[in-house]
A and B are shown apart, each in its own frame.
Chain A
Amino acid sequence: AQTVTQSQPEMSVQEAETVTLSCTYDTSESDYYLFWYKQPPSRQMILVIRQEAYKQQNATENRFSVNFQKAAKSFSLKISDSQLGDAAMYFCAYGGGADGLTFGKGTHLIIQP
């Protein structure tokens, strides 16, 4: 079974600074997808960014970008110019099989004003 590991239960960053959230995964498949989801306090979870494993170029969405290292099975999320609205739980997820996504345990991101 695939596993997703987020080694940072909590991270804190100053507003306007850059922060990187770590994620590693384990799989024997070559074709899969990776995701970062954001869950703001008391609000529903939303997709932040998606990466297709066969694409070498790292995905970017405005202030959010990923560093995808396929050989190392690493998929980190970089948030630039952090804003107060970025405070949330962030979940890394793997999509490879026919069933639902496999999620990590999450990283609680705190933004210090």
Chain B
Amino acid sequence: DVKVTQSSRYLVKRTGEKVFLECVQDMDHENMFWYRQDPGLGLRLIYFSYDVKMKEKGDIPEGYSVSREKKERFSLILESASTNQTSMYLCASSAQLVRAGELFFGEGSRLTVL
């Protein structure tokens, strides 16, 4: 079975802190994604990556950056956390053509910024 592992299920950070959210997949998938999930807003795409060292902005990239140094790992970085970044963050991966492929999700990282 495909496994997507997010390093932290729950995090509490202070405003202005730098935050790293780590995601690792074990099925050699080319495509990896970071979504943000908020009640009443659904899932919104922050960044995605087709390959190592490649990244593309999604719908809401402001305040975020990403890193993909190895194929299996995709990190989301909040350079200076703000309270409006309190949310659930979901990492996903897929092997196929992005628009056709099944996304495999991690369990999510719930971030609270105080």
Contact = CB atoms under 8 A, between A and B. Distances in A.
A35 B98 CA distance: 13
B10 to A, nearest CB: 11
Contact of B48 (A32, A44, A100, A106): A100
A31 to B, nearest CB: 9
Interface string A43-80: 11111001010000000000000000000000000000
B100 A44 contact: no
A57 B36 CA distance: 33
Contacts, number: 61
Interface in B26-56: 33, 35, 40-45, 48, 56
Nearest to A101: B103
A104 B106 CA distance: 19
A103 B48 contact: no
Interface residues of A, number: 27
B8 to A, nearest CB: 15
A100 B11 CA distance: 26
7 contacts: A33-B100, A43-B107, A96-B99, A98-B99, A99-B45, A100-B58, A103-B42
Contacts of B41: 105
A38 to B, nearest CB: 11
Contacts of B58: 99-100
Given A100-B48, A104-B42, A32 B102 contact: no
